[in-house]
Structure 1
Amino acid sequence: MYAAVARTIGQPPVYSEFPDPTPDEGEVLIKVTAAALTNLGRLVTYDPDYSIGAELPFVVGVEGVGRLEDGTRVGFAAQRPPYGSMAELSVTLAPLAFPIAEGLGDSAAAAIINAGFSSWLPFASQLNIKAGDKVLVLGATGVAGKMAVQIAKHLGAGRVVALGRNPEALEQLSATTSAPSNGPSRTPSSAR
């Protein structure tokens, strides 16, 4: 297969051939259709502190979208080294391959996986939102913050207060919430 391969930490990856992955027990093989270029992916390739323990060469990339052998379209993350997402094929643990909603393009889906996990994990692992709860989202005008606002509403929060520096983004969030009275609050310009 062809892939973006890191051969030296601190140097750009090269497009070259790399051995095809073979799934181990509990893993799935994915035919990659889109891969995200994230800060984490870049740091693992360029920063020696983030690449400690990485054996060269390796395929770069952390998140992506593709198809399982049965044709199921999935998003995926956390591949088994040395296989990253920027390749024709990748492998990951079966639970880390999740279905992608129809109507969302592969590139867009790959691009929001990182922000989606960042937004979802606090709700899934730390918070127990109950219907009617109040939620405060700081930094709500970034991608992860916007998703956190929507996730809180999806989980039943009665009121979501969104704070951020971008008034236009706050307006967009307010327009997309189901109940206008539960929409995001504006950050005063003096708080920017």
Structure 2
Amino acid sequence: MKAAIVQGAGQTPVYGEFAEPVVREGQELITVTASSMSHVTKSRAAGSHYSSAGEYPFVAGIDGVGRLASGKRVYFVMPRAPFGAMAERVVVRPEQCIALPDELDDVTAAAIANPGMSAWAAYRERARLKVGETVLVNGATGTAGRLAVQIAKWMGAKKVIATGRNEEALREVAGLGADVVIPLSGEHGHGTPPFDGGAVEGWATQGSELSLEETLKEQFAEGVDVVLDYLWGESARTVLIAAAKEAPEAVPIRFVHIGSVGGAEVSLPGAVLRSSAIELMGCGIGSIPMERLVASVRELMQAAVPAGLKIATTPLPLSSVERGWPLDDSRKRTVFLMSPS
């Protein structure tokens, strides 16, 4: 069968022939229609993700959309290695399949599942977000962060604060529902003041230049209940320090770490945790049981159309995987189609 094959650590997948998967007892054979690029997919292919098996060759892709032998259309996750999702066929256990609503198309379902699940599971399983709470999304300009803003609103957040480096992208995030948008600092620790999501036109000229920490402290003084962090690194450190300094005494802030785009490590003074009620936790493969992750995707898929969740996509035929692999855009989700039609 045709597949995107990873021959070795750090190598771009190549389009070629791979052995057909054999269906074992308790497994389903799926004819794949679409599979999306994700940070996890790329880092597993590179051998750098903590869940990587380190055995080559294998087929890239951790999830996708396809049809069972019965014709039922499903989203599936974590096919049995070495058979990844970017192939004509995969085998998975039934509990790792989710029936899709008719109104949700294959490309959108494949694109929204991984980034949307990261936010949905973080809110539901880790932060236990409540209606009327305030959320800060650190790193809201990528596909995952944009969905996190939209999902927070759908789940009833009273206020959503979004941070990011790209000012043009931040304007777009304001249009997706962010109430306050804060540009992250440059190399010298200062940035443009925050702007109200409802008054985008004047945001760049409001007030004098503030440090990022001072800007964040103003928001934490007003009250922040949940932080979803897609960046880690220096920006997460600044967020945590601002929260510890300015949040109301002994009021818990649930800080959920999801991604490390801004750096793999954080050097954090111990006083940040001793002097505050910050609850520091992570969300990813291993922190939540697989059945709960699958349940999060199921809820997400059912909500995608009623909530009007928006995600930009670039559909490409699987035969273009070598060309499309390095072109992945953090603001768009590349979706490989098993059939060019």
**TM-score bin (small chain):** 0.7 to 0.9
- Structure with bigger RCO (C-alpha 8 Å, 6+ apart): 2
The answer to whether 1:28 aligns with 2:23 is: no
Match of 2:163 in 1: 163
For structure 1, which segment, 84-93 or 2-11, has the greater mean C-alpha deviation from structure 2 after superposition?
A: 2-11
CA distance in 2, matches of 1:131, 1:40: 30
TM-align CA RMSD: 2.8
Name the SS of the counterpart of 1:80 in structure 2. Answer: coil
One of 179, 187, 193 as aligned partner of 1:184: 179
Alpha-carbon contact 2:149-2:176 (below 8 Å) kept: no
Higher alpha-carbon Rg? 2
Name the SS of the counterpart of 1:113 in structure 2. Answer: helix
The number of equivalent residue pairs is 187
1:46-85 to 2 correspondences below 5 Å? 46-47=46-47, 53-85=53-85
Match of 1:124 in 2: 124
CA drift of 1:13 comes to 3.4
Alpha-carbon contact 2:32-2:90 (below 8 Å) kept: yes
Unpaired stretches in structure 1, ≥5 consecutive residues:
178-182
CA drift of 1:25 comes to 4.2
TM-score between both structures, scaled by the size of structure 2? 0.48
CA drift of 1:84 comes to 0.2
Cα distance change, pair 120–15 in 1 and its aligned pair in 2 (3 A): same
Q: Which amino acid in structure 1 is aligned with residue 158 of structure 2?
A: G
Match of 1:172 in 2: 172
Alpha-carbon contact 2:80-2:91 (below 8 Å) kept: yes
CA distance in 1, matches of 2:125, 2:43: 26
CA distance in 1, matches of 2:58, 2:169: 38
Name the SS of the counterpart of 1:186 in structure 2. Answer: strand
Unpaired stretches in structure 2, ≥5 consecutive residues:
184-191, 194-211, 213-234, 236-341
Q: Which amino acid in structure 2 is aligned with residue 185 of structure 1?
A: V
CA drift of 1:167 comes to 4.0
Q: Which amino acid in structure 2 is aligned with residue 29 of structure 1?
A: L
TM-score between both structures, scaled by the size of structure 1? 0.79
CA drift of 1:89 comes to 0.4
Match of 1:180 in 2: none
CA drift of 1:138 comes to 1.6
CA drift of 1:103 comes to 4.6
CA distance in 2, matches of 1:137, 1:58: 34
CA distance in 2, matches of 1:186, 1:45: 34
CA distance in 2, matches of 1:102, 1:166: 35
CA distance in 2, matches of 1:27, 1:51: 22
CA drift of 1:187 comes to 1.4
CA drift of 1:98 comes to 2.2
Alpha-carbon contact 2:4-2:59 (below 8 Å) kept: yes
CA distance in 2, matches of 1:163, 1:69: 45
CA drift of 1:145 comes to 1.1
